[in-house]
Chains A and B, each alone.
Chain A
Amino acid sequence: MIAAPFFRWDWVFDHLGLIWEKVSEHLVLTGIALGVGFVISMALALIGLRFPRTYPPITWLTGVLYTIPSLALFAFLVPITGFTVLSAEIGLVSYTLLILIRNIVAGIQGVDPAVREAALGMGYGSRRLFLEIELPLALPVILAGVRIAAVTTIGLVTITALIGQGGVGFFILQGLNRFFNTEIVLGTALSVILAVAVDLVLVLVERLLTPWTAKRTAAS
């Protein structure tokens, strides 16, 4: 009798359709979480920048959200919003807030005061100053936050398999239930690969959006 191999490629090739479906689901869950999280974070960051006294409570609250164990959070949400995408997203979004808000605020605060003063001195209004000067200059720091949030979220999405979502987490959960190594390894590997790939894409996006930070080797 031959022992079953640890990893069965044939199973993988038989389920390519399902794998693709779960990968897409994973990306969609991540994308929605990041998009919604970014919008909420930007709003809260703007409030915090405009009214500095609100900033400590904002970071405190989002910090508390961040520390709640994800399992507990989803377990808590199920009685309220059920085994739905909404439950998954509420959890995922709340984990992005702290990182995104902190990076948006740090990015804006890190803009050289001389640049701000020069802009005001030339007649920029506060709205244009923010959109045309502060935001672009904060972009590298903001995108660094987005990268961390993206990688964290991709990992967390697998947990939402417990509430019927989960993207590639589906394989991990099912593999555990059936003592089937191939699925556990596949789910884990896919999650890691997705995280690395998304991070790389974001690095490229940053390069494209911030050409002025590139080192040019042109003769000076």
Chain B
Amino acid sequence: MIRLENVTKVFPGGSGPAVHQLSLDVAEGEIVVLVGPSGCGKTTTLKMINRLVEPTSGRITVAGEDIMAIPAHELRRRVGYVIQQIGLFPHRTIAENIATVPRLLGWERTRIDDRVGELIRLVDLEPGMRNRYPRELSGGQRQRAGVARALAADPPVMLMDEPFGAVDPIVRGRLQDELLDLQRRVHKTIVFVTHDIDEAIKLGDRVAILNIGGIVEQYAPPAVILRDPANAFVKAFLGSHRGIKRLSLIPVGEVPLEDGPMVDRSATARDARACMDRYGVDWFGILDGKELVGWAWASDLDGDSLAHIDPKPFEARVSLDASLREALDTIITSRTRVAPVFDGGRFVGTITAEGISRELAK
């Protein structure tokens, strides 16, 4: 959808190129994150895609068209653009701000009104915000309005330059989740710039790690970058806790699950003890056929059958599509040290801290 071929930008008076021979392919419908230290040319690269900066050499195409062949203002109306400072027009209401590009494109009034209403719902702003001025909104609300404005004319491509850089970490996390959720519905091709590697890992289908001078050190899905950093620069940029970061990216379903210390309701107390010994725990789970009905302490055993035991429900449950990070969190905070995994309502096995660590070591 977007292709940069050997793009170089030299600013007059700059020491060396800001971006050097950069090539990058962005497929339709994916989020590509450009990440790297300050001054490495992320913003410059992004601005070359909508011609706010003209490349010194090289070629950029959007949807197969050479961008230099499209008049700049037309190109920009087709490409959504969100910046860190947002740049909402202070003298226009939120509705008028969102309507900016449709107005430039000369849409009819009723069509614009409908679209504005739709976008306000899409980005989860209260309808009452419509007629407010930007200064009357909170940082997070303004950021949502900025995203809505960029989406207004339904551009296939979105460029986002550190859009969540100015909001506090809690709001940032929520806005990131909302962006992912939004992307599932609107399927844009997004180039997202950040200097925050965690944000890159969370949002990117693919992540390009840039070095000073706009040099791509590695361009791959985040799980691959974390597992196999291409070189020392990437490794250093990823920082410590690489394992922990990978945890967020691997779903529980990719790890071989274990049976766990589970016995059927019809089993004997002796079976239960043997099973606990095997796992080195002092509790056991009780199955009724395939269904997991709960768990009990070893000390609850009394007599030879399990029939009299009233199983306690598992508080810690992990879904098959949860990340290993969530699973580990559940395991650590649960008394049982393992977490039963469910596919929808169906019990499919258990996951343990050892199992997770084996997976990371692979």
Contacts and interface: CB of A to CB of B under 8 A. Distances in A.
Interface of A: 112, 114-125, 128, 133, 136-137, 210, 212, 216, 218, 220
Given A121-B76, A122-B77, A212-B135, A136 B52 contact: no
Interface in B122-179: 133, 135-136, 138, 146, 149-150
A217 to B, nearest CB: 10
Mostly, the A contact residues are helix
Nearest to B92: A212
Given A117-B52, A220-B136, A212 B83 contact: no
Nearest to B100: A122
A180 to B, nearest CB: 52
Given A122-B101, A136-B91, 6 more contacts: A112-B85, A112-B87, A115-B89, A123-B77, A124-B73, A212-B133
A137 B90 contact: yes
A122 B88 CA distance: 11
- Which of A120, A125, A133, A137 has the most C-beta atoms of chain B within 10 angstroms of its own C-beta? A120
Interface residues of B, number: 28
Contact of A123 (B74, B89, B91, B138): B74
Given A137-B90, A210-B91, A121 B83 contact: yes
B97 to A, nearest CB: 9
7 contacts: A112-B87, A114-B85, A118-B81, A123-B74, A136-B91, A137-B90, A212-B90
A133 B104 contact: no
Contacts of A212: 90-92, 133, 135
B135 A118 contact: no
B50 interface: yes
A71 to B, nearest CB: 43
Contacts of B119: none
B50 A133 contact: no
Given A122-B104, A123-B101, A117 B87 contact: yes
B125 to A, nearest CB: 13
Contacts of B86: 114, 118
A12 to B, nearest CB: 46
A136 B92 CA distance: 10
Interface string B255-274: 00000000000000000000
Contacts of B81: 118, 121-122
A133 B89 contact: yes
Nearest to B104: A123
B91 A120 contact: no
Given A118-B88, A137-B90, A218-B136, A124 B104 contact: yes
B83 A117 contact: yes
Contacts of B75: 123
Contacts of B74: 123
Interface in B92-123: 92, 100-101, 104
B73 A123 contact: yes
- Which of B77, B87, B100, B104 has the most C-beta atoms of chain A within 10 angstroms of its own C-beta? B87
Nearest to A120: B52
Contact of B91 (A117, A122, A137, A216): A137
A122 B155 CA distance: 11
A118 B90 contact: no
- Which of A119, A120, A123, A210 has the most C-beta atoms of chain B within 10 angstroms of its own C-beta? A123
Contacts of B135: 212
B2 to A, nearest CB: 16
A112 B149 CA distance: 18
A122 B85 contact: no
Interface in B302-337: none
Contacts of B87: 112, 114-119, 121
A115 to B, nearest CB: 5
Interface string B61-81: 000000000001111110001
Contacts of B76: 120-123
A51 B265 CA distance: 88
- Which of A116, A133, A212 has the most C-beta atoms of chain B within 10 angstroms of its own C-beta? A212
Contacts of B83: 114, 117-118, 121
Contacts of A125: 73
B91 to A, nearest CB: 5
Contacts of B73: 123-125
B88 to A, nearest CB: 7
Contacts of A216: 133, 136
B90 to A, nearest CB: 6
Contacts of B149: 122
B101 A115 contact: no
A220 B136 CA distance: 7
Interface string B38-53: 0000000000001010
In order of increasing CB-CB distance, the 6 nearest A-B pairs are: A118-B87, A114-B85, A121-B81, A123-B77, A123-B76, A114-B87
A115 B50 contact: no
Nearest to B159: A121
A136 B87 CA distance: 15
Contacts of A112: 85, 87, 90
Nearest to B152: A122
